A and B are shown apart, each in its own frame.
Chain A
């Protein structure tokens, strides 16, 4: 059973709304990730947090704003999204990230299916 939880499971929002996705892990991991996955594609990395600090931002538009309040929690704040941002957003965690790289196993949450109208 996964120990990475994500809320909400589904989210529908308009282009002017502000919403947040939440992720929590209970494995004592020190690295957390946000991925975006479009239909029939593999996940694409968006952000990596290591020891609660942002270590990688894969050139994600500023309408996506990550936040890591503590080692167990990861948020993704959404504002002024576009319809093409509709996707499955996956959170993952791993033991740690040494420098910019991690070869540890990443454990994924169930995802949030986001629809932008």
Chain B
């Protein structure tokens, strides 16, 4: 079975602070993909990143960076110099190849972390 844990239910920071959102995953598959999505109050899920299990290089995109640590099954997301517009719910998700006989949901979302950035 696959599982994604986001231990932080809610985080509040003041604008310009750095903030890290934690994501821990479980899977028995050796080939899998990890995702982060942002859901602002408007409701749409915005895709941020997709990372495959064979690529452990950290990624940086503007103020966003991701730290993938296979040894600890974690895929953490850091926002540098946070802004009010970063306020949203952030979901980490896992997708794996699975087995031929295992029909079912293979795109698993974590419970989400609500980030509030205060001015």
Contacts and interface: CB of A to CB of B under 8 A. Distances in A.
A101 B106 contact: yes
Contacts of A100: 98, 103-104, 106
A17 interface: no
B107 A102 contact: yes
B89 to A, nearest CB: 8
Contacts of A40: 112
Contacts of B96: 101, 103
A43 to B, nearest CB: 6
**Interface majority SS on B: helix, strand, loop or mixed?**
loop
Interface stretch (A18-26, A62-70, A74-82, A104-112): A104-112
Contacts of B112: 40-42
A53 interface: no
Contacts of A103: 31-33, 95-97, 106
B85 to A, nearest CB: 16
Contacts of A99: 100
B43 interface: yes
Contacts, number: 60
Interface string A48-64: 00000000101000000
Interface string A71-107: 0000000000000000010101000000111110111
A80 to B, nearest CB: 25
Contacts of B98: 100-101
B50 interface: yes
A105 B35 contact: yes
Contacts of B46: 2, 108
A21 to B, nearest CB: 14
Contacts of B106: 100-103
7 contacts: A41-B112, A45-B105, A102-B95, A102-B107, A103-B97, A108-B46, A110-B42
Given A58-B105, A111-B43, 5 more contacts: A42-B110, A88-B43, A99-B100, A102-B107, A103-B106
